[in-house]
Amino acid sequence: MKFYYWFLLLLLAVAAGYYFYSPQAPTQQDDFVEKTLEFGEENRENFLTYENEEYAFTVEYPVGYNAVEEADLYSTVKFYAGTPYSVWMQEFNVYVVDSNESFSVEDVLSEESDWTGFDLKVNGRNAHYFETTEYLPEYDEELSYKYLFVECGDYLAWVTALTPTITPGDLVVADYVLHSFKCQT
């Protein structure tokens, strides 16, 4: 009987050691970061770097895209290009929200009910990633919306991607553009 208790105690110790010291399975966040960094390394020559001196940030965008600063009342910079497969352009925006402004991520996401997301680190900064899709029956097309909120000290950067899902390769490009955002402050 004494042997039986020692055996159970040993088995429990082995199980606890395995639980606390075994390598963890990759998380969704790890997978996202790994795929986007790998894509960036393989396609570095297909991207340009935009630098904003006022807010001290950089972001990479695809060669051939138009870059427009202050394209509308809210965006700091917008990158866009048409695609022959869709009536929609692929579009990336960077919005800067000063820390003293009233802003709620929940308010932004309340427009759509099926957002999925997770927290992650983007170039050493705390960030929050969300994505959803929307089917537009009048165009018989689905659009992907990807949002990345990056905490940059004095401001919050909201990096967005609008991508037609008809070209899956563009979805990977969108992930990379969002992940390439770096605030210097």
Report the CATH number at residue 116: 3.40.1000.10
Contacts of 176 by beta carbon, 8 Å cutoff, 6+ apart: 36, 39, 40, 43, 47, 60
**Residue type at 34 in one-letter notation:** E
Q: CA-to-CA distance for 170 and 164, rounded, in angstroms?
A: 8
Does 10 map to a domain? no
Tally the domains of the chain: 1
Does 6 map to a domain? no
DSSP characters over 124-179: TEEEEEEEEEEEETTTTEEEEEEEEEEE-SSEEEEEEEEEETTSHHHHHHHHHHHH
Does 7 map to a domain? no
Does 19 map to a domain? no
**Tens of pLDDT, residues 60-104:** 999 999 999 987 767 799 898 887 778 888 899 999 988 767 777
Which residues span the domain enclosing 102? 26-183
SS3 50: strand
Does 3 map to a domain? no
Indicate whether 19 pLDDT > 50: no
Does 160 map to a domain? yes
Entry pTM: 0.77
**Residue type at 10 in one-letter notation:** L
